[in-house]
Amino acid sequence: NAGVTQTPKFRILKIGQSMTLQCAQDMNHNYMYWYRQDPGMGLKLIYYSVGAGITDKGEVPNGYNVSRSTTEDFPLRLELAAPSQTSVYFCASSYGTKSGEKLFFGSGTQLSVL
Amino acid sequence: GENVEQHPSTLSVQEGDSAVIKCTYSDSASNYFPWYKQELGKRPQLIIDIRSNVGEKKDQRIAVTLNKTAKHFSLHITETQPEDSAVYFCAAIKEYGGATNKLIFGTGTLLAVQP
């Protein structure tokens, strides 16, 4: 199993550009998440999904969109990129049982908006 | 919503000493409390977790304690080694009607173990 795969690893955007961060998992996990980690800060939840066709907002959803058309894929879309979106983005997945489950993280995407 | 506070933000210890990191949570409905370790430039990885039906859990040199009444939990690392140097995150899960898991993280503690 590859686990959770994120692409790209690094990206520089100009203000106002758009991009999609890709995330795929091959563990048949139901739950998938997107977190952002600002320098020296903790992990903030952007969006999450409990299954194909179901998504919901996390703590900091503004400026982002997601979709979950398949169990495996959970792309994160940035529209009209802003400097405040400069961060490291982590995708994660879990089986998602009622009591909580171990999160498996991707390797991260370092995004700079200039 | 759930809020998790973590202290201290940085912690420096001598090799062989113990390290303690503390977290408090706001939502009494939270019932699962994992700890993640993130080495420099790497992804976070689960190191230990505890559920609300137990007060303490140990795994070799690391242990976690939970006080539900006070709504706080702590990570204890004994006999610290240089490879323990990393950022440690606590987290808490708040359930919404049993259908979702939203893991809320603390702000992290940078642990430096001096040889």
The rounded mean pLDDT for chain B is: 90
Contact B93 A90 (CB under 8 A): no
User: Residues 6 or more apart from A97 whose CB is under 8 A from it?
Assistant: none
B73–chain A Cβ distance below 8 A for any pair: no
Contact call for residues A94 and A45 (beta carbons, < 8 A): no
Half-sphere exposure of B62 (CA within 13 A, CB side): 17
Which chain B residues touch A33 with a CB distance below 8 Å?
Answer: 103
Asked if A48's CB is within 8 angstroms of B102's CB, the reply is yes
Give per-residue pLDDT as tens, B55-79. Answer: 999 999 999 999 999 999 999 999 9
Mean pLDDT of A98-105: 73
DSSP state of A40: T
The C-alpha atoms of residue A93 and residue B50 are separated, in whole angstroms, by: 19
Q: Which residue of A has its CA nearest to B110?
A: A40
* Tokens 């792309």 sit on residue: A75
d(CA B36, CA B34) in angstroms, rounded, equals 7
Tokens standing for A34? 């997107």
B113 touches chain A (CB under 8 A): no
pLDDT (tens digit, 9 = 90+) per residue, A27-39? 998 889 999 999 8
